[in-house]
Structure 1
Amino acid sequence: MTHPDPQLIEQALTAVGALRGSAVEHEERYRGLIDAAHPTHRAGATNLLHYLAVRQRDIRDLQRQLASLGLSSLGRLERCALSSLDAVLRALDALAGRPGTRPPGAYPTSFDSGESTLEDHARALLGEGRPGRQTRVMVTLPGDARKRDLKRLLEAGMDVARINCSKGDAGEWAGLIERLRSASRETGFACRVLCDIAGPNPRVSKIAGGPARVAIPASGGKPQLWLCKDLKELKKARAAARDAGADEVAAVGCTIPEVVDDLRPGHRVFYDDGRLGGTVKLVADGAALVEVDFAREGGVKLKPGKGLNFPDSELGIPPLTPKDLEDLDFIARRADMVGLSFVRAPSDVERLQAELASRGAAHLGLVLKIETTAAFRQLPRLLLTAMRSERVGVMLARGDMAVEMGFVRLAEVQEELLWLCEAALVPAIWATQVLESLNKTGVPTRGEVTDAAMSSRAECVMLNQGENIVATVDFVVDVLQRMHEHQDKKRALMRPLSVSRLD
């Protein structure tokens, strides 16, 4: 009989013990963040700090050693970081012939309590959900949705209704919510309401001069365009940049002119969900000259109202616009939760929390929409700040993230977002273009079916409005119910497989 190598066991004990020490040290170092959290979230805040300490190290070699010893390789410690480390240490003690030498510890979460606490938080924010699936379904509703259509959505499986406050007004939203509440009573299906405030979302305001369509010429040259605080001042900018040969190129204004002040040479600029992208070449007199690096085949037409992204720029703009503050007056009275769009820093979260408290609405659920590079980089701090509120969630707004970070990084980034939310015991919402082809055309693509199956790892999946939205809800509910039998977050569930039989 072959026995484990004692030296390997001792090496693993030392390495796992060091991880445990760093987790405890991290907790003590940031004790103030735990104490500031709402009592409901203190266990999650503590566990998040433990998890972050472990993830600051590269433990891949240690994982291989533990697996070779037949032990947990620490690949699923999100919900219970410290207790998972101690479970491995006790197993290593037993292999080293020293069982029972490690006294049981006090943990913020265990495997069971972490799972149940996360589900408690999901229920508090998103509602009870439906039997047979853990993942709720959220649907973005048009302002003119009819009551009979809302009843069909509820019967198909809608658990949360989303209102996009960048469209419509308070009167329209009030009528929609009234019809939804009535449909909910008549069908017997409860439905929470999320109102997304628009936030400081820079868009194209006006266009002047030059061609309205921008395309990369066959010669391979790079076209240019101006981004201006005020198109009336374009002549000054052109005069200051005459040597750049940019006199006759198109110029666009921005709905938030102040962002131009924060641009620097080398910063990237994206237009219309990344259909066109470029780099700031120079900044002069309230305008930035952008050299276009790529554009969709056939060119991209410049239009007012299209979005602008600035992933490299630290934008010194307030997190809440005057319209947002006005919309919060309505949301505080009528909604169940509020979505904070284009959050960038913990101070943005604090500002929203203060505004809700001033309206007597601190009880509302708070959903952080992670859609910028800045938000992703600050996610742990954003989570810990948001956890001062009683009900908290995170929306993975993957469309803007893909634009800002690149499609190559999207799969990696969405995984990390899910891991950190689970470690914080905060529900996650999987969003942006889920089953978009099915919703618009009635036929899904193979790729988006896989994407829908991946959404079962979140506590909620969001669908956009579309011509086939009821059928899309039916479809995603079927997928979620099937995946519920096979997958729990990162853990595969080994139910019996009919295909496993040979006779």
Structure 2
Amino acid sequence: MKVNPNKIKKLITQIESLIELLMSEEQRYKDVFNSVHSHYSESTKNFIYYNSIRKVDLRSLQKKLQNLGLSRLAKAEGHIMSSLVKTRFILYKLLDELPPYAIKPGLSIKNGKRLLNKHSKELLGYRSKGRRVRIMVTQPTQAAYDYNMVHEMVGLGMNCARINCAHDDPEVWEKIINNIKKASKAHGKTIKIAMDLAGPKIRTGHITPGPKIKKFSPERDESGKIINPAIIELVPVIMEDSEYNSLPVSAEWLKKLEKSDLLFLKDSRDKHREFKVIEISINKVIVHCYETSYIETGTLICCNRSTMLDTHIGELPPIEQHILLKTNDSLIITKDNVLGSPAVYDDEGKLIENAHISCQTPEVFNRIKEGEIILFDDGKIEGRIETILEDYLKVKITRAKDTGSKLKAEKGMNFPETNLGISGLTEKDKIDLEFVTQHADVVNFSFVNSKEDVEELLVELKKWNVTNSLSIILKIETKFAFDNLIEILLAAMKVKHIGVMIARGDLAVETGWENIGRIQEEILALCSAAHIPVIWATQVLENFAKKGLPSRSEITDAVHSLQAECIMLNKGPYMENVLQLLTKILSNMEHYHEKNETMLPKMEKA
């Protein structure tokens, strides 16, 4: 191959100047190397190298190296010094020369991959046969009471179970964990247990509740004829993740029901209604109804069999209310915890009172400024702060659906332009840590924003003497977390086992939808340089999990997640189907991708 010696010499000069930059940065960070855990001594050095080289625009150099058929350094983050030294050696050989002086190559390509694999195994447990990427599954409340469901998850390839401390309580958490351990033993597997600290999630307050009532209607065709009856599930108790068509009745009464029994009641409109028992299973009875029914808490139910005593419908959740907001509407956000309500108009449509809702984290009032942006419900609604008073602030809605957007209780609020200065650890988190330290393998640290947040968590872990036995996953979900990620990781690398979760939902809202693609790539690269496992989270196959049918974009997203070491799935009634599909996708596509590297197996027909 003919080469231009002058061009090769210029490339050598550029490569050697980069190596000199890395060596000087190594000297500057000597104190940092001494402070990290020995587990990350090599990784920290490589991490510093990578951050240093990213201060330079390498695109021109990359193109020139590519034209020579050499490494473009595009996927060298896990072994950056080694790749530079080897590229330098090859360039000298193209001149038929040897480098005038030797440079220690640092971590090799093979050893860089080995470290990441080792850290992934320690943090997330053993991988499943046939796939590198692990799967973490969020456990619903039902997992505390339905062992078979947990057993199925383990059998279908769940490697790590996630329990969110923002929901339920220690009694439910312990039941879930017991079922996980029982299922793990039955399958001969070890399933890691990760528990999310709730963190200072900023949410809307409660709205005046609606009536405790449910409506059931049969399915009709265009002429009004019934195609299918309304299907209702009679259960002993309604839980957070119960289906809408569930009605609670006494467990003892349920056990006495027989197939083909007829049940009679008067609905909330005094309409006589009849249910027919179709199917009976453990803790659930399926009934059919052929007329629209409004069933409320306390409704009396009778059975056609005289031996059956009457019973009542148990406690139903109130109908969830909302505030309808349109562009240019005004919304009052109160500091005090008062029930929210929609805007009030007179008979002529004139506004009497603005819609209002509370903020569950009143500390934000101390930081926000007029003119700043506020986002609601994962960015579905956008507003701008117009006025800030002692007890409330006034927001003008700048973006909503043309027909209006519904703002409900417990929805996220984001202030992307505001440094709220709220710590990643709340008082509730510190209380929950007692349970987490005794029962979990991993603590998922929500809303970490700075190295100080990490240091605060390490202080708490030290109190429970679990600093190096309880693993930590840092959830990166804010603009400030991303901006401070280098310092956050260096602070976390003082302990033995850490990982990073890319919480893409909040992160996209905070940083802008147009930026999330770039930002998740940067997080992946930074963590790869530090040999820190990454968990790919938020809305992975979520449509499939909730509705039973995946979208094309969800499949593409699942394939893209091969760059991570683990995928987190949220809960849904079709989780078994999701696990089956995701395992197939990951197993098939790993022939074509090794993390962020494209592989070239023999091409086959579809």
Q: Residue 238 of structure 1 aligns with which residue?
A: none
Aligned to 1:63, the other structure's residue is in SS state: helix
Unaligned runs of 5+ in 1: 235-245
Q: Residue 142 of structure 1 aligns with which residue?
A: 140
Separation in structure 2 between the aligned mates of residue 263 and residue 253 of structure 1, nearest angstrom = 15
Separation in structure 1 between the aligned mates of residue 354 and residue 337 of structure 2, nearest angstrom = 13
| Pairwise CA distance, 1:300 | 2.3
Residue number among 513, 518, 529 corresponding to 1:423 in the alignment: 529
The question of whether the paired residues in 2 share the 8 Å contact of 1:8 and 1:65 is answered with no
Paired-residue identity, %: 35
Q: Residue 411 of structure 1 aligns with which residue?
A: 517
| Pairwise CA distance, 1:499 | 4.3
Q: Highest Rg: 1 or 2?
A: 2
Aligned to 1:144, the other structure's residue is in SS state: helix
Question: Per-residue CA shift, 1:445-492, capped at 9, x if unaligned?
Answer: 111001011111111001111111011011101111111111012211
Q: Residue 239 of structure 1 aligns with which residue?
A: none
Q: Residue 131 of structure 1 aligns with which residue?
A: 129
Matches within 5 A, 1:70-149: 70-107=69-106, 109-145=107-143, 146-149=146-149
Does 1:328 find its partner at 2:433? yes
Aligned to 1:498, the other structure's residue is in SS state: coil
Q: Which one-letter code corresponds to 1:411 in the other structure?
A: G
Q: Residue 580 of structure 2 aligns with which residue?
A: 474
Question: Per-residue CA shift, 1:115-135, capped at 9, x if unaligned?
Answer: 000000000000011121110
Q: Residue 397 of structure 1 aligns with which residue?
A: 503
Separation in structure 2 between the aligned mates of residue 247 and residue 112 of structure 1, nearest angstrom = 70
| Pairwise CA distance, 1:228 | 2.7
Q: Residue 186 of structure 1 aligns with which residue?
A: 186
Q: Which one-letter code corresponds to 1:167 in the other structure?
A: H
Separation in structure 1 between the aligned mates of residue 480 and residue 384 of structure 2, nearest angstrom = 18
Question: Per-residue CA shift, 1:32-69, capped at 9, x if unaligned?
Answer: 22221110011111111100111111111111111122
Does 1:215 find its partner at 2:316? no
| Pairwise CA distance, 1:104 | 4.4
Q: Residue 172 of structure 2 aligns with which residue?
A: 172
Q: Residue 66 of structure 1 aligns with which residue?
A: 65
Does 1:287 find its partner at 2:392? yes
The question of whether the paired residues in 2 share the 8 Å contact of 1:279 and 1:290 is answered with yes
| Pairwise CA distance, 1:337 | 0.5
The question of whether the paired residues in 1 share the 8 Å contact of 2:323 and 2:355 is answered with no
Separation in structure 2 between the aligned mates of residue 286 and residue 24 of structure 1, nearest angstrom = 55
Tell me the TM-score normalised to structure 2 length: 0.76
Q: Residue 343 of structure 1 aligns with which residue?
A: 448
Q: Residue 490 of structure 1 aligns with which residue?
A: 596
Q: Which one-letter code corresponds to 2:452 in the other structure?
A: S
Q: Which one-letter code corresponds to 2:93 in the other structure?
A: A
Residue number among 379, 388, 391 corresponding to 1:274 in the alignment: 379
| Pairwise CA distance, 1:227 | 2.3
The question of whether the paired residues in 1 share the 8 Å contact of 2:322 and 2:409 is answered with no
Matches within 5 A, 1:233-248: 248=353
Residue number among 533, 554, 569 corresponding to 1:463 in the alignment: 569
Separation in structure 2 between the aligned mates of residue 486 and residue 280 of structure 1, nearest angstrom = 49
Aligned to 2:496, the other structure's residue is in SS state: coil
Call closer, same or farther: CA 1:231–1:167 in 2, change over 3 Å. closer
The question of whether the paired residues in 2 share the 8 Å contact of 1:207 and 1:302 is answered with no
Aligned to 1:369, the other structure's residue is in SS state: strand
Matches within 5 A, 1:13-28: 13-28=12-27
Separation in structure 1 between the aligned mates of residue 24 and residue 120 of structure 2, nearest angstrom = 29
Separation in structure 2 between the aligned mates of residue 247 and residue 49 of structure 1, nearest angstrom = 60
The question of whether the paired residues in 2 share the 8 Å contact of 1:83 and 1:110 is answered with yes
Q: Residue 385 of structure 1 aligns with which residue?
A: 491
Q: Residue 242 of structure 1 aligns with which residue?
A: none
The question of whether the paired residues in 1 share the 8 Å contact of 2:79 and 2:529 is answered with yes
| Pairwise CA distance, 1:206 | 4.3
Separation in structure 1 between the aligned mates of residue 426 and residue 205 of structure 2, nearest angstrom = 16
Does 1:311 find its partner at 2:309? no
Aligned to 1:393, the other structure's residue is in SS state: strand
The question of whether the paired residues in 2 share the 8 Å contact of 1:93 and 1:101 is answered with no
Q: Which one-letter code corresponds to 2:385 in the other structure?
A: V
Call closer, same or farther: CA 1:383–1:272 in 2, change over 3 Å. same
Q: Residue 243 of structure 1 aligns with which residue?
A: none
Unaligned runs of 5+ in 2: 209-320, 341-350
The question of whether the paired residues in 1 share the 8 Å contact of 2:445 and 2:472 is answered with yes
Aligned to 2:447, the other structure's residue is in SS state: coil
Separation in structure 1 between the aligned mates of residue 63 and residue 406 of structure 2, nearest angstrom = 52
Q: Which one-letter code corresponds to 1:485 in the other structure?
A: H
Call closer, same or farther: CA 1:9–1:175 in 2, change over 3 Å. same
Tell me the TM-score normalised to structure 1 length: 0.92
Q: Which one-letter code corresponds to 1:272 in the other structure?
A: D
Separation in structure 2 between the aligned mates of residue 476 and residue 268 of structure 1, nearest angstrom = 37
The question of whether the paired residues in 2 share the 8 Å contact of 1:213 and 1:299 is answered with no
Residue number among 350, 366, 369 corresponding to 1:261 in the alignment: 366
Aligned to 1:280, the other structure's residue is in SS state: strand
Aligned to 1:317, the other structure's residue is in SS state: coil
| Pairwise CA distance, 1:72 | 1.2
Please identify, of 379-388 and 286-295, the stretch whose mean Cα deviation from structure 2 is larger: 286-295
| Pairwise CA distance, 1:213 | 3.0
Instruction: Give the number of aligned pairs.
Output: 480
Q: Residue 195 of structure 1 aligns with which residue?
A: 195
| Pairwise CA distance, 1:212 | 5.8
Separation in structure 1 between the aligned mates of residue 507 and residue 538 of structure 2, nearest angstrom = 10
| Pairwise CA distance, 1:100 | 4.5
Q: In angstroms, what is the RMSD of aligned CA positions? A: 1.9
Separation in structure 2 between the aligned mates of residue 482 and residue 400 of structure 1, nearest angstrom = 30
The question of whether the paired residues in 2 share the 8 Å contact of 1:90 and 1:102 is answered with no
Runs of at least 4 residues of structure 1 off by over 6 A? none
| Pairwise CA distance, 1:497 | 1.4
The question of whether the paired residues in 2 share the 8 Å contact of 1:17 and 1:89 is answered with yes
